[in-house]
Chain A
């Protein structure tokens, strides 16, 4: 079993950072969900808020690192003008051209919206700290934007996985 230098970067971009993003979302969502008044002690609120801060910032950092490595490290290999680059191979076959013309065109753009939303959520969680539990309307809105960030990244990640299956970076 051997991975090339480029394949290692594709693994870091798609699986390493992607898995970190997924874990941070799952943890952050659980903490958001449980942060309801009347159900937690003061110590419980402090502990959960701290975990929520860490989780949301990890998700934001993972989102930024994913789009930066994807755009500036992996994407140039994908779009290389050489006839054996993934982009060239996909476009050469009418049956796979849509993976580039729709899949990659969508993925490469919307992925950048995920870190913007994740950063806004992380900032808001840190800003309110333990008083977030007193702002249930804000908490619910933050959950929605947190989930939207995850879904947007999910679309990009799923398309990336399919495109890599159709024409991997070697």
Chain B
């Protein structure tokens, strides 16, 4: 395998499949989405927020970020296996990733997630 190309059994040169790149981009989008969901859920539920406090000094941010990073790594591994050797359409993958990241950004925007805080 050289310069992004791989040799086939006949010795000709074929393009590398897009699958592995699709896997890492979708995983990044899933990581962002998971972070956003956890942020909003933690604001809506005090008990869930307490559960996310895996570190006393860092607070609920510790659980949110660790879970989001685990989601990224696991999604990358699973999608990497699932999409190995496949070539999904790059445009579709990049748009889907952008949507996942955009939703993650909205869910981590304070004005949005603080709207879910229980009334005092």
Chain A interface residues toward B at CB < 8 A = 67, 71-72, 75-76, 79, 101-102, 105-106, 108-110, 112-113, 116-117, 119-120, 123-124, 127-132, 134-135, 137-138, 141, 144-145, 148, 152
A residues in contact with B97, CB < 8 Å = 120, 145
- Beyond A127-B4, A132-B4, whether A79 also contacts B108 by CB under 8 A is no
> 7 closest Cβ contacts across the A-B interface?
A131-B4, A76-B57, A109-B108, A116-B28, A120-B28, A105-B110, A129-B4
A-B contact pairs, 8 of them (CB 8 A): A71-B61, A102-B110, A102-B111, A109-B35, A113-B32, A124-B24, A131-B16, A134-B4
Other A-B contacts than A116-B27, A129-B3, A130-B3, 11 sampled, CB-CB below 8 A, are A71-B58, A75-B58, A106-B108, A113-B108, A119-B24, A119-B28, A120-B25, A120-B97, A132-B4, A145-B25, A145-B97
Give min CB distance, A125 to chain B, whole Å: 10
Give min CB distance, A160 to chain B, whole Å: 14
> CA separation between A123 and B79, bound complex, in Å?
14
- B59 in contact (CB, < 8 A): yes
Would B105 and A120 count as touching, CB distance under 8 A? Answer: no
Chain B interface residues toward A at CB < 8 A = 3-5, 15-16, 18, 20-21, 24-25, 27-28, 31-32, 35-36, 39, 55, 57-59, 61-62, 64-65, 68-69, 72, 90-91, 94, 97, 101, 104-105, 108-111, 114
Give min CB distance, A157 to chain B, whole Å: 16
Would A108 and B61 count as touching, CB distance under 8 A? Answer: yes
B residues in contact with A79, CB < 8 Å = 57, 59
> CA separation between A124 and B90, bound complex, in Å?
12
A residues in contact with B61, CB < 8 Å = 71, 75, 108-109
> CA separation between A84 and B90, bound complex, in Å?
51
Would A112 and B68 count as touching, CB distance under 8 A? Answer: yes
Would B21 and A116 count as touching, CB distance under 8 A? Answer: no
Give min CB distance, B94 to chain A, whole Å: 4
Would B4 and A113 count as touching, CB distance under 8 A? Answer: no
Give min CB distance, B46 to chain A, whole Å: 16
- Interface residue from A67, A75, A134, A141 paired with B90 (Cβ < 8 Å): A141
B residues in contact with A110, CB < 8 Å = 105, 108
- Interface residue from A113, A124, A132, A138 paired with B35 (Cβ < 8 Å): A113
B residues in contact with A141, CB < 8 Å = 90-91, 94
